[in-house]
A and B are shown apart, each in its own frame.
Chain A
Amino acid sequence: DGGITQSPKYLFRKEGQNVTLSCEQNLNHDAMYWYRQDPGQGLRLIYYSQIVNDFQKGDIAEGYSVSREKKESFPLTVTSAQKNPTAFYLCASSIPGIRHGYTFGSGTRLTVV
Chain B
Amino acid sequence: AQKITQTQPGMFVQEKEAVTLDCTYDTSDPSYGLFWYKQPSSGEMIFLIYQGSYDQQNATEGRYSLNFQKARKSANLVISASQLGDSAMYFCAMSPINTGNQFYFGTGTSLTVIP
Contact = CB atoms under 8 A, between A and B. Distances in A.
Interface stretch (A15-23, A64-72, A76-84, A101-109): A101-109
A110 B9 CA distance: 24
A105 B44 CA distance: 6
A58 B105 CA distance: 13
B50 interface: yes
B108 A42 contact: yes
Contact of B101 (A31, A40, A105): A31
Contacts of A109: 43
A107 B91 contact: no
A53 interface: no
Contact of B32 (A31, A45, A92, A98): A98
A30 B102 CA distance: 13
Interface in A16-55: 31, 33, 35, 40-45, 48, 50
A94 B44 contact: no
Which of B97, B103, B105: most chain A Cβ within 10 A? Answer: B103
Contacts of B35: 101
Contacts of B108: 42
Contacts of A43: 91, 93, 103, 105
A14 interface: no
In order of increasing CB-CB distance, the 9 nearest A-B pairs are A98-B33, A104-B45, A43-B105, A42-B105, A107-B43, A42-B107, A101-B47, A106-B44, A94-B101
